[in-house]
Chains A and B, each alone.
Chain A
Amino acid sequence: MTSLSIQTILYENSPQDILRSVCALAHAAQLAKDARSVNDWEIAVGDSSPEPVFAEGLLAQLREIVEAAGGSFRYQFFGANLGHGGGHNVVASQGKSDVLVFVNPDGVVAPDALARLMAALGPGVGAVDARQLPIEHPKEFNSRTGETAWASGACLATAREVFDSVGGFDDDTFFMYCDDVDYSWRVKLAGFAVLHQPSARLFHDKRLSSGATYLPGDAEVYYSAEAALLLAHKYSRQDVVDRIISAFQASASPVEVKVLAEFERRRAEHRLPAQIDPGHDVGQFTSGNYAPHRY
Chain B
Amino acid sequence: MTSLLIDLLDSVAQSPHADPALLTAADDLRAALTPDVTHGPFLTVIVRTQGRRIETLKDALLCLAAQSCQDFDVIVADHDSDEVGAVAVRAAVDEQAVDFRSRISIAEVSGGGRAHPLNVALSRATGQYIAIYDDDDLLFGHWVETFRSAAETAGNRLIRAQVGLQNVQPEAWPDAEAGFLTLSSIRAEYPEEYDQLRHIRVNSSPFMGWAFPRVLFEKLGFRFDEELEVCEDWDVILRGASLLGVTNATELTSIYRRWENGRSSYDVHDLEEWQRSESRVIEKLDAMPLVLDRGAATQIRQVLVFEDAANAHAHLLAGWTWRLATPIRIGVGVVKRARPFVGRVLRRFHLR
From known contacts A199-B55, A210-B188, infer whether A20 and B179 are also in contact, taking CB-CB under 8 Å: no
Q: Is A112 an interface residue (CB 8 A)?
A: yes
Please count how many residues in chain B sit with their CB below 8 Å of the partner chain's CB atoms: 41
Residues of B within 8 A of A (CB): 55, 58-59, 61-63, 65-66, 68, 95-99, 138-142, 162, 164, 171-176, 179, 181-188, 192, 250-252, 255
How many inter-chain residue pairs (CB < 8 Å) link A and B?
Answer: 105
Complexed CA–CA distance, A87 and B251 (Å): 34
Q: Interface residues, chain A, CB within 8 Å of chain B? A: 16, 20, 23-24, 27, 31, 108, 110-112, 116, 119-120, 133-136, 138, 143-146, 195, 197-199, 201, 203, 205, 207-212, 294-295
> Which B residue's beta carbon lies closest to that of A294?
B183
Contact B164 A27 (CB under 8 A): no
Give min CB distance, B288 to chain A, whole Å.
Answer: 32
Residue contact A133 to B188, C-beta cutoff 8 Å: no
List of B residues within 8 angstroms of A133 by Cβ: 59, 62-63, 138
Given contacts A203-B141, A208-B186, 19 further A-B contacts (CB under 8 A): A16-B68, A27-B97, A108-B65, A119-B175, A133-B62, A134-B63, A143-B172, A143-B181, A199-B55, A199-B173, A199-B174, A201-B62, A203-B62, A205-B68, A207-B252, A208-B140, A210-B192, A212-B252, A294-B181
Q: Tell me which residues across on chain B come within 8 A of A27, comparing CB atoms.
A: 97-98
Partner of B252, one of A195, A197, A209: A209
Contacting pair B171 A108 (CB below 8 A): no
CB of A23 within 8 A of CB of B162, answer no
Tell whether, in the assembled complex, residue A212 and residue B184 are in contact, meaning their CB atoms are under 8 Å apart.
no
Give min CB distance, A129 to chain B, whole Å: 13
Name the residue of chain B whose CB is nearest to the CB of A136: B182
**A205 B175 Cβ-Cβ under 8 A:** no
- C-alpha spacing A25/B97, complex, angstroms: 10
Pick from B98, B142, B192: contact of A207, CB below 8 A.
B142
Pairwise interchain contact A203-B65, C-beta atoms closer than 8 A: yes
The distance in angstroms between the C-alpha atoms of A110 and B56, with both chains bound, is 12
| A198 proximity list for chain B (CB < 8 A) | 173-174, 176, 179
Closest CB-CB distance, A128 to chain B, in whole Å?
10
Name the B residues within 8 Å of A145 (CB-CB).
174
